[in-house]
Amino acid sequence: MRLKRVTYLIFMLVFLNGSMLAADERQTAPDFSLEGRDASVSLQQFKGNVVLLDFWASWCIPCRASFPWMNEIQKKYKSHGLEVIAVSVDKDPALAEAFLSKVPADFTIAFDPAGDVAAEYGLKGMPASYLIDKQGHILKSHIGFLTSEMEKRELEIKAILKI
């Protein structure tokens, strides 16, 4: 029993303290300006909010699972200052629109067909997400999407929102 308690405490210390970067390790999120579904989208326009920046593509199977979760997260935490921005890296925006007709998005969508913004963020896989604080620092990043990690990711968001 004591070993379980010690293991749990170590896990919580690593999870709570190790999941966020130290202040001197924080990287400023590169700003961008991209075409969006309704208007141009820039990271700067969301400064002062916590941003979940997600890179996706129409061919990405895990993206189909991440969109409903991001819809839910946006709905739950928008009033607390969360903004979800999903950036398509499809070279043909029509492919992204076809995806969105099947998998709706209740959050901001932008298009990066040349992949320039994805390159600035050092994209290594799909989907890739970056959790950005109100000051514009990247606090956490994830590659891929597993439904088994949804609760952990939501806790990270709540911790940054301080709720």
Provide the 3-class DSSP secondary structure of residue 75: helix
What would the two tokens of residue 15 be?
Answer: 């999870």
Dist. CA 136–CA 66, nearest whole Å: 23
Categorize the per-residue pLDDT at 66 as very low, low, confident or very high, splitting at 50, 70 and 90.
very high
pLDDT digits (tens, 9 = 90+) for 1-29: 444 443 333 333 333 333 444 444 669 99
Within 62-163, strands assigned E span 82-88, 108-111, 128-132, 137-143
Pick the CATH number of 22-161 from 3.40.50.150, 3.40.30.10, 3.30.420.10, 3.30.9.30: 3.40.30.10
Provide the 3-class DSSP secondary structure of residue 102: helix
The model's pTM is 0.83
Dist. CA 111–CA 19, nearest whole Å: 29
Dist. CA 35–CA 50, nearest whole Å: 21
